[in-house]
Amino acid sequence: MATETPEQQRVIVKEMSWDPITRIVGSLGIHTEIDFTNQQVLKCYSTSMIFRGFDIFMKGIDPRDAHFITSRICGICGDNHCTCSCLNQNMAYGVKPPALGDLAFNLAETADYIFDHAIFNDCMANVDFCEQMVKETNPTLLAKAESTPAPGQDIHGYKTIADIMRALNPFTGEFYLETLHVARYTREMYCLFGGRHTHPSTIMPGGCSADITHQTCTDYYVRLMRYFDYVKRSVPMHDDLYDFFLQELPGYDMVGYRETNLVNWGSFDDPDYVDYDYRNMTNWGRKRYITPGVAIGGELISTDLVEINLMIRILLGSSYFDSWENEPTFVTHDPIGNPVDKNHPWNKVTLPRPQKRDFADKYTWVVSPRIYDKRTDTHVCCDTGGGPFARQWCTAKAGLVDFGYAKATGHSIQMVLPRSPNMPEMELEWNVPEKSNAVERDRARTYHQAYSALIALHNLERAMKEVQAGRTKSWNSFKVPETAVSCGFHEAARGVLSHHMVIQEGKIANYQPYPPTPWNASPRDVYGTPGPYEDAVQNTPIFEENGPENFKGIDIMRAVRSFDPCLPCGVHMYTGKGKVRKVMHTPTALA
């Protein structure tokens, strides 16, 4: 056996795939090549296996059916789609709901966020941090956790970090079980204004069709105050858990790391400002309780929804579709007169071409949405950070929000939570973190439960004033025009959600919904830029103590789940026991 020179090193690289990824909504597959010698991920592909074709079968239908149909794009955030479609239709029909209608939309959607973030964080994503999982992947860390006191124990009641981890064990952990219970009464809150969840029965263009009375508001109020008790314990508990990982595993801030390129369309309109008119969208967009924004390279470059609208591009490259460059153009200019690109959603045509999966060529049903940056003439791959991260990042930096219970300072969001049945008033502050990584996305999600609850409280107080004043009308009528060009911008729990529509002859000529997952799960585009999951996972170092034979890929799972993947469009990766692809001799300079 020849001796190896010091410059050479044996490197074990294994192909490993995880299909399906569990504890997300939808089917997602992650395929990787892992360098076990240097404990890093070399390559990552995210693939999607399910295609239904909403934009195809919605052609030619009555536009007033759009919110009912598009709700069914997603089974956890269907109501976000329904709401976005109603915002879109309001613009197309030129209708503004009464104040109570807009407030009802906000009350329903805040209830949805506080439900979704709770169940996703603590019954799905954080199972990756539970005692059972840490025992199987980082036993040394678990031992340390047993003897590390939790700084916030006086508030949340868990004495050690290991106690927190035990509380997150699936189906036996105390906090896990409490969260399942919370996930039910928060959906009761949703149903008070939305009727059903996740596919609402009372969220309509023109306003809300729920019969809103004093009772409706009281039922919501009582549950919201109980939620404040829960979230006051949840935030410090998660801070303790995530800070422990960052302290005990130096370098953990690189798990799921990617450059801060973010998109967030903002949500929760203020009825005093919104008129659903595209020409005024810049102004009413900035009045939202969550400020819209685009960040590139760590800089907030816009909070103007009209400008942001014109930056959106849909690219192909690795997706099972044909190009639409030869299809007719629906929209050449927006309602203000700005030119609209052929790759903008208004002009996209969906031409599916089902085929065999080939990771070297086309491997997914997901397309590649990108932000066109005219300053550099490039298509930037932006992500939503799982939703709360991008929302809070842009809101904090824009410094526009201030509704008493919460205030954006330019570098943070300050919040004051009210006294609740079991706990006193509490101040919280979410600071814009240095890096866009897995831990900060998860942390932002917990803080966002508090922020959304405060938006709910504020809107509830406004709604009650309307009801008490006898202004119980919550819907205004409208007529569907022969032609229209419109858009709805909203935030699904996990990030950006836009619906673009073209009406011709009173029917839908083109309807293009873009949920957050095509952004986050997008594959390599035609310019070769990888999608966010691919990018973030490729940057992820491995801290797991298991070797290649019983590797769980927990750091990769934490990276992927931090984006709160929701793939009813589907993404699949296959995990096998993995096969060693090759053993390379590589000069250490390249390792």
Partner 1 sequence: MSALVNPYAKQKETEAVTAHVLWMTTGLSCEGDSVAMTSATNPSLEDIILQAIPGMPKVVVHNQVVDYAVGQEYAQAWFDAENGELDPFVLVIEGSLGNEEINGEGHWTGFAVNPENGQPITMNEWLDRLAPKAAAVVAVGTCATYGGIPAMKNNPTGAMGVPDYLGWSWKSKAGLPIVCIPGCPAQPDNMTETLLYLALHLAGLAPAPELDEALRPKWLFGRTVRESCNRAGFTEQGQFATEYGADHRCLVKLGCKGPVVRCNVPVRGWVNGVGGCPNVGGICMACTMPGFPDQFMPFMDEDKLGALNANITKYTYGPIVKYFRHRMAKKHDVEPEWRRRGKTLTTGYVKRW
**Span 16-35, contacts to partner 1 by CB under 8 A:** 17-27
127 binds partner 1 (CB under 8 A): yes
- We find the least distance from the C-beta atom of residue 10 to partner 1, in angstroms, to be 27
Distances (CA, A) of 109 to 289, 481, 486, 557: 12, 28, 21, 28
Q: Name the residue nearer to partner 1 (CB basis): 288 or 348.
A: 348
CB 321 within 8 A of CB 367: yes
Q: Could you say whether residue 180 binds partner 1 (CB under 8 A)?
A: yes
Which runs of consecutive H residues, i.e. helices, occur in 8-98? 54-57, 66-71, 78-93
Residue with tokens 């439960």: 449
Report which of 493, 480, 508, 294 is spatially closest to residue 383, judged by C-alpha positions. 294
Ramachandran class of 505: left when φ > 0, alpha when ψ lies in -120 to 50, beta otherwise: left
Q: Which of 4, 62, 272, 425 binds partner 1 (CB under 8 A)?
A: 62
Considering the rule CB under 8 A, would residue 57 count as an interface residue with partner 1? Answer: yes
Task: Check residue 484 for interaction with partner 1 (CB under 8 A).
Answer: no
Within 13 Å and on the Cβ side, how many CA atoms surround 280? 10
For helices 139-146 and 214-248, give the axis angle rounded to 10 degrees: 110
Phi/psi at 17 (nearest 5 deg)? -130, 150
Cα–Cα distance, 532 to 538 (Å, whole number): 10
Shortest distance (Å) from residue 49 CB to partner 1: 3
Give min distance, CB of 213 to partner 1, in A. Answer: 8
Q: Considering the rule CB under 8 A, would residue 570 count as an interface residue with partner 1? A: yes
Measured CA to CA, the distance from residue 372 to residue 341 in angstroms comes to 10
Give me 378's structure tokens: 């490039």
x/- site string to partner 1, residues 357 to 396, per CB under 8 A? x---------------------------------------
CB 57 → partner 1: shortest distance, Å? Answer: 4
Complex with partner 1: residue 151 or 170, whichever CB lies closer: 170
Contact 578, 550 (CB under 8 A): no
Dist CA 164 CA 131 (whole Å): 8
Instruction: Give the three-class secondary structure for 222.
Output: helix
Stretch that binds partner 1, among 169-177, 264-272, 486-494, 522-530 (CB under 8 A): 169-177
Is residue 354 within the footprint of partner 1 (CB under 8 A)? yes
The nearest distance, CB 292 to partner 1, in angstroms, is 26
* Residue 195 within binding range of partner 1, rule CB under 8 A: yes
CB 523 within 8 A of CB 317: yes
Select 60 or 297, whichever has its Cβ closest to partner 1.
60
Residue 359 CB, shortest distance to partner 1, in Å, is 9
x-or-dash string of contact with partner 1, 214-233, rule CB under 8 A? -----x--------------
Provide the Cα torsion 318, 322, 328, 330; round to 10°: -40
Which residue, 104 or 432, has its beta carbon nearer to partner 1? Answer: 104
Question: Which residues between 539 and 558 bind partner 1 (CB under 8 A)?
Answer: 552-553, 557
Q: Verify binding: residue 537, partner 1, rule CB under 8 A.
A: no
Q: How far apart are CA 441 and CA 389, in angstroms?
A: 5
Asked if 164 touches partner 1 (CB under 8 A), the answer is: no
Of 3-11, 119-127, 326-334, 496-504, the segment contacting partner 1 by CB under 8 A is 119-127
The one among 13, 44, 95, 119 contacting partner 1 by CB under 8 A: 119
Shortest separation between residue 452's beta carbon and partner 1, angstroms? 18
Nearest to 571 by CA among 526, 528, 537: 537
Q: Which of 5, 53, 545, 585 binds partner 1 (CB under 8 A)?
A: 53
Going by C-alpha positions, the residue among 137, 142, 249, 141 that lies closest to residue 552 is 137
Q: Is 200 in the site for partner 1 (CB under 8 A)?
A: yes
CA distance 510 to 508: 6
- Amino acid identity of 172? T
- Cα dihedral 350, 355, 358, 360 sign: negative
> Among the candidate windows 67-75, 234-242, 243-251, 288-296, which touches partner 1 by CB under 8 A?
67-75
Contacting residue, 43, 64, 144, 407, with partner 1 by CB under 8 A: 64
- Measured torsion, CA atoms of residues 147, 150, 156, 162, in degrees rounded to the nearest 10: -40
CB of 123 to partner 1, least distance (A): 7
Q: Does residue 315 bind partner 1 (CB under 8 A)?
A: no
List the interface residues with partner 1, window 393-412 (CB under 8 A): none
The residue (of 190 and 393) whose beta carbon lies closer to partner 1 is: 190
Residues in contact with partner 1, shown as a per-residue x/- string from 420 to 459 under the rule CB under 8 A: ----------------------------------------
CB of 27 to partner 1, least distance (A): 5
